[in-house]
Amino acid sequence: MAQRYVRIQTPEGRIYYGLLQLSRGVQLLDAPPWLKGKPTERFLEPETYRILAPCVPSKIVAVGKNYADHAAEMGTPVPREPLLFLKPPTAVIADGDEIAYPPQSERVDYEGELALVIGERCVDCTPEEATGKIWGYTIANDVTARDLQKKDGQWTRGKGFDTFCPLGPWIVRELSPGAGLQTFVNDAPEPVQSSVIDNMVFPPDVLVSYISQVMTLLPGDVVLTGTPEGIGPLQVGDRVRVEIEGIGSLENTVRQRLTPSDL
């Protein structure tokens, strides 16, 4: 099994990066691993920590319609260049946290995706250089208020609500290009999304290179690589699970977002 790099919090509120062991214990690192963090002699036993989102990005750069079948289900052609948008860092939540369904929306969708974690400052990189800037891989759910996305004509509000970027549960360094991606809702045995990541129109090295010619990517930043066909709505109370072969699974439930009048 590939090494799994986690970010965890102790009951006292201290936050560490570490290596998750098969026993579910965590060997702590002295810094984030992409900043050359080294293993220490400190070890946390299982049940003595909480897993957080695996990084704290300065920005989340996402890519729209990067699978041809998804572009088709949206009724649009495949973009001739990567279609970029941003999600705010405040959208990030961890595996097991709750997605808050905002009262402004009547249609909130799941979008299971592969996420790239940047390891080095990346600006004006070629695809070959960009490959070396990708430190690792994790799972994301690009939760989207679909009705607001269509209403607004641009995607900031529909993609940017707090809790709309579940991320994790950990990072692995390597991933097979043919790794399968599947999304499940509740206890349904059949996935609502099923594809392989090499079905992307623009592969990870091309995406990172293209983004780096627009904005500087910093260590710990996240790139969401797009979602395959099969997007669909979530309801309050639903449980959504995104699985990527070679990484694991990211699972979150949906609750109603409270407004001040509810408090």
Rounded to an integer, what distance in angstroms lies between the CA atom of residue 107 and that of residue 144? 8
Instruction: Provide mean pLDDT across the span 6-30.
Output: 97
Encode pLDDT of 131-176 as tens digits.
999 999 999 999 999 999 999 999 999 999 999 999 999 999 999 9
pLDDT (0 to 100) of residue 263: 53
**Percent of the chain with pLDDT strictly greater than 70:** 98
* Residue 14 confidence class, pLDDT cut points 50, 70, 90: very high
Classify the C-alpha dihedral 22-24-28-32 as positive or negative.
Answer: positive
Residues above pLDDT 90, as percent of the chain? 90
Check residue 226 and give left, alpha or beta (phi > 0: left; psi -120 to 50: alpha): left
Render pLDDT for 38-68 as a digit per residue (tens, 0 to 9): 999 999 999 999 999 999 999 999 999 998 8
**Token digits for 50?**
């909480």
Nearest to 170 by CA among 48, 30, 53: 53
CA nearest neighbour of 58 among 90, 98, 13, 97: 90
Average pLDDT value for residue range 177-198: 95
pLDDT, mean of residues 21-38:
96
